[in-house]
Structures are given as structure tokens and as C-alpha cells.
Amino acid sequence: MKAHRLRQWAWIHKWSSLVCTVFMLLLCLTGLPLIFHHEIGHLLGDEIEAPELPADTPRVSLDRVMEVAKSQFPDKGGMFVSQEDDDDRIWYVTMSTTPTSETDLKQVAVDARTGAVLGLPRLDGGFINLMFRLHVDLFAGLPGTLFLGFMGLLLAVAIVSGVILYSPFMRKLDFGTVRRDNSPRVKWLDLHNLLGIVTLVWASVVTLTGIINTLADPIIAYWRYDQMGEMVAPYKNLPPPERLGSLQQSVVAAQALEPGMKLSFIAFPGTSFSSPHHYGIFMRGETPATSRLLKPVLVDAQTAKVTDSRTLPWYATALLISQPLHFGDYGGLPMQILWALLDIATIIVLGSGLYLWLKRKKVPKANEAASPALAAAGKEA
């Protein structure tokens, strides 16, 4: 590659990296505990535990579950009902004053077998929630989320430009070389390059999925306009129901339509995943490959009859796939550990890049003249 092209790519790599490095370091640091959020929740006592009962213990109806949740917060109504993917013994009922409220949310954990209240999970505090909010939106809502998405785009540019620069820079060095006998700056440069190329695929995947995740709100809004609008068109001019029908019967109707799928979560009428007239019952696959893919079933909230169901479009499917892949949720503890190690390596890459830039003015000109590689390093950093 010609020298002027290398200088151009070095300039792109330097400034795309510098602009996003602090924020990417924040995302890596906050993302590390989020990889183990369940395990940390258990250690901190924030996780709700279900008592051990015989496997054939009968389940209470979802209507009873809602009655129990309502007794805890009589002034609030249902928004969502969900279960953990790997534990169907607990129903988590999210409630609020209005279906669209995001400021007064409460949650009740109800035993799916006995109907007993197991706890009131915290939705607005705790260590994991703090890490999650910093990681997702910097406590700035959608503007913060989109800002982090832009920082992710800059990181993608830094990764591409770094790959382009890697080959000519390492042309006279063996792969994995770390020149320990040289100055600390040269050693950190070699380590920066080594860890950068080793974590290339992982960093690319996490960056891409992270960018997609920052578009979650716009994607959901477009899905409501594009798909939900068509699904609820027959109800467009009808008044909302004054009284909701049986939630249990609505779920049974959805399960009868999709017998090969499991219940993921239920959205109450008026929430962002339903209409004012429907329960949005979201089913998921049963295999590891399909367990993260959802299929919405709209059930009339008065009659408990299915009115429409369709496969999610490609853009919503991309979002569903990217969310667990971003945090390493697909492969259990081994994949979580791998994700954590790669995350730590990426922190070193980002930190060393910042160090190289901060130390750039301390490189003697004589050393640069004597070492073309060090001179190139100064340009890259």
C-alpha cells in the first residue's frame, strides 16, 4: 500500500479510536458484570428463589396470578407477564398506573404452582440496574442510546482501519511478536496490535450487535407501524374494552395455535407490544437455536379468541438474535467465561491505544529516525 494511503488510514484509525475510546471502555467495564448478571444477582440476594416442590405440582391459572399481583398494588394494572427462559416456576408481573407509564413500574414475583408472592423485585435500583443503565443509555434515554450507537459505528471504523494497517505494520515481524527489549511504548504497541487482531472477530460481532441493540426502540416503533398496524386494522375505530377477559383462556388459545412453541411473555392491552384491544402473547421456539426467536399472537382481550399471528420481519429478528449474542447468553457458563476474557482483552486494547496516544510526544525524534516501525507507531497512535 502506498505511503499516503497508509497515512490516511492511520489518521482515520487514530481519530475514530480516540473519539470513541472512553465510551467503549465504559461499555466494556459495565458489560463485564452484565455477562454474569444472574450469578451476581444470586450473590447479592437480588434473585427470587422458588421453593422446591414435586415436578407434577399443578399450576394456578394466570387469572389467579394477576389477582395475587393486584392485591400487592391495587392502584396499578398489568403491563407484562413473563418467565425466565430456564425457569417456569415463577411468574413476573410488571404493573403500572397506565399501560404506557415508565416511571412508576412495580413488579411482583408469583409462584406459578401455589400462587404465593415470592418477592417484589427491584426495577429502579441495585448494582446490576446501575450497570445496565450506564451500558444502555447513560441514564439519558433514547438520545443516550443513539449516542452510544454512534460511538459503536466509530469503533467499527477503528476496527476496519486497524485491520488495514496491521499487515504493512507487521510485515517485518512474526505474528505475536512483542518486543520486550524495547521501550515500554513499543511493547504496548505490540501488545495492542496482538490483542487487537486476536479479538478481531469477537470485537466485530459485539460491536455490530451492540449497534443493532441501540436501534431497539426505533425498530419496535417501526414494527408497530409496519406489522402491528395491519394486524389490528379491524379494531381501528372501536373503543377500548371496558373489562378484560380471561388471561388464562387467551394464553390457552395462543398455545393451541402454536403447539410447538413455549410462552415467552404477555403484553397487556395498551402497551407497546399490543393494541388497546388485544393481549400480545409472544411465543418462542423450544430449541437452543429458536428459543430467542419470538412469534406474536394477538388475542382479543374481551373474547379470548385469536385474531392474528405472523412471523416477525427480518429487522425484528435481527434485533432478537443480536441481544443475547451481545452478552454471550447462548452457550451457558462456558460462553460467558469466554465472553468475559475477550471483554478484558478488549479493555486492554482500548486502554493501550489511549496510552500510546498520550505518550506520543515523548518519543525522541532520534528514535523515530532510527526505527521506521516506531515512527509508524507514532503515526498510528
What single letter denotes the amino acid at residue 19? V
Nearest to 267 by CA among 235, 243, 299, 221: 299
pLDDT, position 1: 61
* Residue recorded with cell 496490535: 193
For residue 328, is it left (φ>0), alpha (ψ between -120 and 50) or beta? left
Per-residue pLDDT tens digits for 300-352: 999 999 999 999 999 999 999 998 889 887 767 888 999 999 999 999 999 99
pLDDT, position 242: 87
pLDDT, position 62: 97
Nearest to 282 by CA among 295, 271, 293: 295
Cell numbers given for 34 = 452484565
Query: To the nearest 10°, the Cα dihedral for 146, 147, 151, 152?
Result: -20
Look at residue 288 and tell me whether its pLDDT is greater than 60. Answer: yes
Look at residue 380 and tell me whether its pLDDT is greater than 50. Answer: no
Containing H/E element for 200?
A: helix 200-214
**CATH of span 47-125:** 3.10.450
**% of the chain exceeding 90 in pLDDT:** 62
Residue 44 CB contacts under 8 Å (≥ 6 apart), including other chains: 126, 127, 128
Give the Cα separation of 341 and 337 in Å (integer): 6
Give the Cα separation of 173 and 190 in Å (integer): 10
pLDDT, position 376: 44
Per-residue pLDDT tens digits for 188-225: 888 888 898 889 999 999 999 999 999 999 999 999 99
- Greatest Cα pair distance, the chain, in angstroms, is 83
Q: How many residues can be counted in the chain?
A: 381
pLDDT, position 328: 81
Supply φ then ψ for residue 286, to 5 degrees. Answer: -100, -15
Give the Cα separation of 202 and 191 in Å (integer): 17
Q: How confident is the model at residue 361 (pLDDT cuts 50, 70, 90)?
A: low
Q: How confident is the model at residue 47 (pLDDT cuts 50, 70, 90)?
A: confident
Q: Which residues pair with 77 in a beta bridge?
A: 96
pLDDT, position 234: 93
Give the Cα separation of 221 and 172 in Å (integer): 52
Cell numbers given for 245 = 377477559
pLDDT, position 166: 82
Burial classification of residue 147, based on how many CB atoms lie within 10 Å of its CB (0-12 exposed, 13-18 middle, 19 or more buried)? middle
Instruction: Please state which of the ranges 39-43, 134-138, 276-280, 347-351 shows the lowest mean pLDDT.
Output: 39-43
| Averaged pLDDT for residues 272-294 | 90
Give the chain's mean pLDDT.
88
pLDDT, position 182: 81
pLDDT, position 259: 92
* Residue, of 380 and 315, whose pLDDT is higher: 315
What single letter denotes the amino acid at residue 127? F
* Residue extents of the structural domains in the chain: 3-39+131-213+331-380, 47-125
Give the Cα separation of 111 and 7 in Å (integer): 63
Cβ atoms of 105 and 119 closer than 8 Å: no
Look at residue 367 and tell me whether its pLDDT is greater than 60. Answer: no
Cβ atoms of 158 and 15 closer than 8 Å: no
Query: To the nearest 10°, the Cα dihedral for 202, 214, 130, 112?
Result: -90
Supply φ then ψ for residue 27, to 5 degrees. Answer: -65, -40
Go through 271-296 and write b for each residue having 16 or more CB atoms within 10 A of its CB, e for each that does not.
bbbbbebbbbbbbbbeeeeebbbbbb
Cell numbers given for 85 = 427462559
What single letter denotes the amino acid at residue 137? D
| Averaged pLDDT for residues 228-255 | 93
pLDDT, position 375: 43
